[in-house]
């Protein structure tokens, strides 16, 4: 069965824009996945992190013929290939790949929670996903991405459009 998945891509170490672009290209090469759309890139203020380094963030939509678990496994392999070192939560990272939405599936298992449990509180996710599909319904909350975005305060969550190279 074909599903539409939305993936958040972020980086705040090294060539941030390059890291995000490479990640999107590698995701497009995952068997049974095809990138359908990509939001603009954004420079974003770190949220709940020790780092003062701002992020570059983008959201992509995928046509997927894999399970959410298989997609996650592939995303983790891409993170490793791009130099992501896991250790402290909320630490700076070369790349961060998160499944935001996977069709209308609701998954709450060890190691995989979909929809992403914090996406409705984060402007760096909601602005790009709303750019792609403002009427996309959050499977748990039951509101659209545009409606959720209206509720999130801007204070401490600056999101600035970034031009590609």
**Which positions are catalytic?**
84, 93, 96, 98
- 5: nearest Cα among 133, 81, 84, 103: 103
Q: Which two tokens stand for residue 88?
A: 């402290």
Strand ranges inside 12-155, DSSP E: 33-38, 41-44, 55-64, 96-102, 107-109, 112-114
Helix, coil or strand: residue 88: coil
């Amino acid at each position: 069965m074909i599903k539409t998945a939305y993936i958040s891509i972020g980086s705040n170490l090294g060539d941030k824009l390059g890291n995000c672009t490479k990640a999107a290209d590698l995701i497009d090469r995952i068997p049974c996945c095809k990138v359908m759309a990509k939001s603009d890139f954004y420079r974003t203020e770190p949220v709940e992190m020790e780092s003062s380094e701002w992020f570059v963030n983008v959201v992509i939509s995928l046509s997927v013929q894999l399970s959410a678990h298989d997609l996650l496994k592939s995303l983790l392999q891409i993170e490793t290939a791009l130099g992501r070192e896991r250790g402290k939560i909320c630490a700076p990272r070369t790349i961060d790949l998160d499944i935001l939405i996977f069709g209308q599936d609701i998954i709450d298992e060890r190691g995989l929670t979909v929809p992403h449990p914090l996406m409705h509180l984060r402007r760096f996710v909601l602005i790009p996903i709303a750019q792609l599909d403002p009427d996309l319904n959050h499977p748990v909350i039951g509101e659209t991405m545009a409606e959720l975005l209206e509720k999130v305060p801007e204070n401490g969550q600056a999101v600035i459009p970034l031009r590609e190279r």
